[in-house]
Amino acid sequence: MIDTHQHLLTPKRFNYAWAKDFPALQGELGLDQYRAAAAGCGIEGTVFMEVDVDEAQSGDEARYFCGLADDSASRILGVVAAGRPEQEGFEAYLDRITHPKLKGIRRVLHTQPNAVSQSSCFRENVRVLAGRGLSFDLCVLERQLPLAVELVDACPDVTFVLDHCGVPDIAANLSDFWKKQTKALAKRSNVACKVSGVTVYASEEQRTADGLFPWFAHVLESFGSERLVWGGDWPVVTLASGLSRWVSITEGLISSLGEAEQEAILVGNARRIYRL
């Protein structure tokens, strides 16, 4: 398996203001802790996902983890760094963090006003990612999915990855709005979907393969097995199921698929989409 959504928190080096309200996310949550959580899960490599550090530290985080990825022992195959496409100087920022292991950019949008992704500056800056061989991870709430569609349409040459299946409110049951909007995104061939993070949005009773299957079945039907990737979302996943349990749930979700489809979702698509 390739985990395309690995967060590593190193509070001695970086500040994470957003994490202060989550006791389970305090302290060192680095490679050693990740390896302990992933033991026996069959994870062969990872994509480090930026952790929304304080903005002034974004470049340092990108450079630090790209450097860590240079060591094959880390098993970090690529890095998705933080970025602020809404700001002038975005291309100069990309120049400062460019690295062979840099594979994409993410701007956390679910904590931001809707207008952030709608500005001409934001969209022009996202468009430049295509020419640099970088993807863009879409981190939006369910209610923001129409904005994601607009952004994708404004940047047709960029590869997008929809994080956490578009953050469905699973505990509130299957939403026609979520189904319609994710289906709309799936009609854009440059969008992939990441099966990750969903246990956090589910009730305890739903944190099983059977409980989560309706949501998985929908993204599978919409995007096809060739545009799904898998992510562990560690350590955020510890707020719900934990990593090993999420891996077990995933195995149940894909158990009815053929070997080639399972390999695509767990390994092959990650290598292609993130250019690992």
| Angstrom distances, CA of residue 54 to CA of 11, 23, 31, 196, 217 | 11, 19, 21, 24, 37
CB atoms within 10 A of CB 123: 18
Q: What CATH number did the domain enclosing 210 receive?
A: 3.20.20.140
Per-residue pLDDT of the chain (276 residues; tens, 9 = 90+): 999 999 999 999 999 999 998 999 999 999 999 999 999 999 999 999 999 999 999 999 999 999 999 999 999 999 999 999 999 999 999 999 999 999 999 999 998 999 999 999 999 999 999 999 999 999 999 999 999 999 999 999 999 999 999 999 999 999 999 999 999 999 999 999 999 999 999 999 999 999 999 999 999 999 999 999 999 999 999 999 899 999 999 999 999 999 999 999 999 999 999 999
Contact yes or no for 228/269 (Cβ under 8 A): yes
**Angstrom distance (rounded) from CA 16 to CA 269:** 30
**Unique residue bearing structure tokens 């996202």:** 126
Number of domains in the chain: 1
Structure pTM? 0.97
Q: Which residues span the domain enclosing 83?
A: 2-273
**Unique residue bearing structure tokens 């100087």:** 89
The reported pLDDT for the residue numbered 219 is: 98
The reported pLDDT for the residue numbered 212 is: 98
The reported pLDDT for the residue numbered 133 is: 98
Strand 45-49, strand 76-82: pairing: parallel
The reported pLDDT for the residue numbered 82 is: 98
List the structure tokens of 62. 């990108």
The reported pLDDT for the residue numbered 50 is: 98
DSSP 3-state of 229: strand
**Unique residue bearing structure tokens 């904590």:** 111
The reported pLDDT for the residue numbered 115 is: 93
List the structure tokens of 137. 């991870």
The reported pLDDT for the residue numbered 61 is: 98
